[in-house]
Amino acid sequence: MNRIYLTLRVTLICFLICFLFAHTAHAYIDIGAGSYFFQIAVASMLGIMVSVKIYWKIIKKKIVSLFSGKKPLPKE
């Protein structure tokens, strides 16, 4: 279920970005490098967000151990 919600959220964000995304002026065929990298940046942001969600427990452990000065517990 979580994955379905995640996919729906991703889709919704994509559509919102697209409607906000203004075209720049161009004549004839333009490779649109700016647009290309912008879209990759958006996908990367989402990738980072999903990574944080997936690895949240590990990240949390690392942060806690960093500030408490304790070594993270070894894996059981």
Partner 1 sequence: MKRTIAFHPILFAMFPILSIFTFNMGQMPYGERQIAIPLLVSVLSAAAIWGVLSLILKNSLKAGLITSILVLLFFSYGHIYSFLIAANISFTIRYPHLTALWMIIIIVSGALIIRTKRDLKNITTILNIMSITLALLPTANYLANKAMISSAGLKTKTAEQSGENVAAIKSPVEPRDIYYVILDGYSNETTMKEVFNCDISDFTSFLKKKGFFVASKSRSNYAFTDLSIPSSLNMKFLDGDMDPLRKKQRAYLLITARLRTMLEDHKVKDFLKARGYKLIFFSSGFQVDNQNRYFDVPNRCGRDNEFMYNLLNTTALAPLHGYYVVKKLENAREKITSCVQDEITKIPEKGPLFVFAHLDVSHVNMFHEAAPSYCGELKAYNKRLETMVSGILSASKKPPIIVLQGDHGTKTILDEIMGEDGKWDMNKLLANEPLMDAGLRQRMRIFNAYYFPAGGEAKLYDSITPVNTFRVMFDYYFGADFKLMDDRSYFSFPPRNYEFVDVTERAKF
Residues binding partner 1 (CB under 8 A) = 6-7, 10-11, 14-15, 17-19, 21-33, 35-37, 39-40, 42-44, 46-47, 50-51, 54-55
* Euclidean distance between CA atoms 7 and 62, whole angstroms: 28
Nearer to partner 1, 19 or 67 (CB): 19
Lookup result for tokens 């995304």: 21
Q: Would you say 71 and 65 are in contact if contact means Cβ atoms under 8 Å apart?
A: yes
The residue (of 23 and 70) whose beta carbon lies closer to partner 1 is 23
DSSP classification of residue 25: P
Closer to partner 1 by Cβ: residue 37 or 65 = 37
